[in-house]
Chains A and B, each alone.
Chain A
Amino acid sequence: MAFGDYPADYNPKVHGPYDPARFYGKPDTPFGQVKLNQLGEWFGRRNKTPSAIAGTFSRAYWRWQHKYLQPKRAGIAPFFQFITASMVFFYAINYSKLKKHRNYKYH
C-alpha cells in the first residue's frame, strides 16, 4: 500500500463508493462499549503501525468534516470548535511558559 492508495480492505465491489470517513477493516467492539477490564486487550488488538494511526486521525477528521463542515447549511459551530481546539492545543504546548504567570504560590 503506497501513498494515495485506498485502504487494503476496501473493495469497491463490496463496499460501494469510497467513503474516507469509514473504517473498512473488520469491526471490533466500539470503544464506548468496552468494559474497563477489557480495555488492555482491546488496545492490544489495535493496529499500531504509523499508517494505521494516521488513518485513524484521517477518518476522524473526515467524520468531523462530514458532520459539521460539509453539510449544505452548515453553521458557525465548526469554526468555534476549531478555535476551541486550537486554544486548548496552544495552551498545552505553551503550558511550561504559562505556568510562570501563576498568581499564587500555594494552592
Chain B
Amino acid sequence: MLSRAALLSGQQNRALVALAARTTGTTACNNVAASCDSQVEMTRPVRMEPGKVRMGFIPEEWFNFFYKKTGVTGPYTLGFTLSTYLLSKEIYVLEHEFYSGLSLALMCVVAVKKIGPGLAKYLDKEIDAYETEWNESRVNERQVLEQQIGNEEKMQWSAEGQNMMVQAKRENVALQLEAAYRGRVMTAYQEVKKRLDYQVEIQNIERRIAQRNLIDYVVRRVMSSITPDQDKKNIDKCIADLSSLAKA
C-alpha cells in the first residue's frame, strides 16, 4: 500500500520520504523535512514485554485497579460473590457442558503446570536461535564491511607511503640533476683551464725560444766582437792573477 500511495502524489511521496528518513535516523530531529516544533507527539512503537497476568489469563492491571480501593482480596471477593450470584440465580446454568468444560479446564491447568516450563524453555531457546540466525547475516555483513573499511584504510595508508616514495624519488632525481649539472660545470671549467694552460704554455715556450735566440745572438755577437789580441791579454791577466794568488 505504501508503494501505491507513493506513486499517487508527490505530496504524499515527500511525506513518505520524510517518514523513511525518520524511521532510519537515530534522532527525532535530524532532518529538515521533520518539523521540530511538533515533535512532542512523535513516538516510535517499540515491541512490548508480555503483559502480566494472574491465574493464566486475567490481566494484572485489573487486580491493581481493585488494590487501591479494596486491597488484595477485593478482586477475589468480587469474583467469588459474583459467581455465587450467577450460580444461585441460575444466570449461569450448570448444564452438562459446564462439567465437560471443568474437566477440560483441569486438564489445561495440569498441562500448563507440567509441560509449561519445559516447553517455555525450549521455545525461548528456539526464539533465540531464530533471532541469532536472522541477525547472523547482518552481523557477518557488518564484520565484512568493517574488514573492508580496515583494508581500505590500510590501502590509503600505503598510498600515503607511495606519496612519500614519490617524494623521495623526486628528491633523488633532483640530486642526480644537481650532480650532472655540477659534473658538467666541472667539465667546462676543466676544458677552459686546459685551453688557457695551452695558451700559457705556448707563450712560455715562445718567450723561452725568443730568449734563447736573443742570448745566442748576443753571445755570438760578443764572441765575434772579441779579437785574438784581447783574448791573449785576457789569458795573460788570468795567469798573472793565478800566480799572484799562488804567491799569497
Given contacts A72-B127, A75-B120, A107-B90, 15 further A-B contacts (CB under 8 A): A4-B1, A12-B16, A12-B19, A13-B35, A16-B22, A16-B28, A21-B45, A22-B43, A22-B45, A68-B50, A73-B127, A76-B112, A80-B57, A81-B57, A91-B92
Q: Which of A90-107 contact B (CB under 8 A)?
A: 91, 98-99, 101-104, 107
Minimum CB distance partner of B33 in chain A: A13
Is B93's CB under 8 angstroms from A14's CB?
A: no
Decide if A84 is an interface residue (CB 8 Å cutoff): yes
Is A70's CB under 8 angstroms from B56's CB?
A: no
Minimum CB distance partner of B111 in chain A: A76
Give the complex CA separation of A76 and B90 in angstroms: 31
Minimum CB distance partner of B12 in chain A: A12
Contact of B124 among A73, A91, A102 (CB under 8 A): A73
Decide if B48 is an interface residue (CB 8 Å cutoff): yes
Please, what's the 1-or-0 string for A52-87, where 1 marks a CB less than 8 Å from any CB in chain B? 000000000000001110111111110011001001
Is B35's CB under 8 angstroms from A98's CB?
A: no
Task: Return chain B residues, CB-CB under 8 Å to A75.
Answer: 50, 53, 120
Contact of B42 among A14, A84, A98, A107 (CB under 8 A): A14
With known contacts A74-B50, A107-B88, A12–B38 Cβ distance under 8 A? no
How many CB-defined contacts (below 8 Å) exist between A and B?
Answer: 90
B11 to chain A, nearest CB (A): 11
List residues of chain A with CB under 8 Å of any chain B CB: 4, 11-17, 19, 21-22, 66-68, 70-77, 80-81, 84, 87, 91, 98-99, 101-104, 107
Is B35's CB under 8 angstroms from A16's CB?
A: no
Of the A-B pairs whose beta carbons lie under 8 Å apart in the complex, a sample of 23, sorted by A's number, is: A4-B1, A14-B38, A14-B42, A15-B42, A16-B19, A16-B22, A16-B28, A21-B45, A66-B45, A66-B48, A67-B50, A67-B51, A71-B50, A73-B50, A74-B50, A75-B120, A76-B112, A80-B108, A101-B95, A102-B90, A103-B93, A103-B94, A107-B90
Task: Return chain A residues, CB-CB under 8 Å to B35.
Answer: 13-14
Task: Return chain A residues, CB-CB under 8 Å to B101.
Answer: 87
Give the complex CA separation of A2 and B28 in angstroms: 30
Task: Return chain B residues, CB-CB under 8 Å to A11.
Answer: 15
When A and B form their complex, which 9 residue pairs have the shortest distance between CB atoms, in order from nearest?
Answer: A80-B57, A101-B95, A12-B19, A71-B50, A16-B42, A67-B51, A77-B53, A19-B45, A81-B57
Give the complex CA separation of A80 and B111 in angstroms: 13
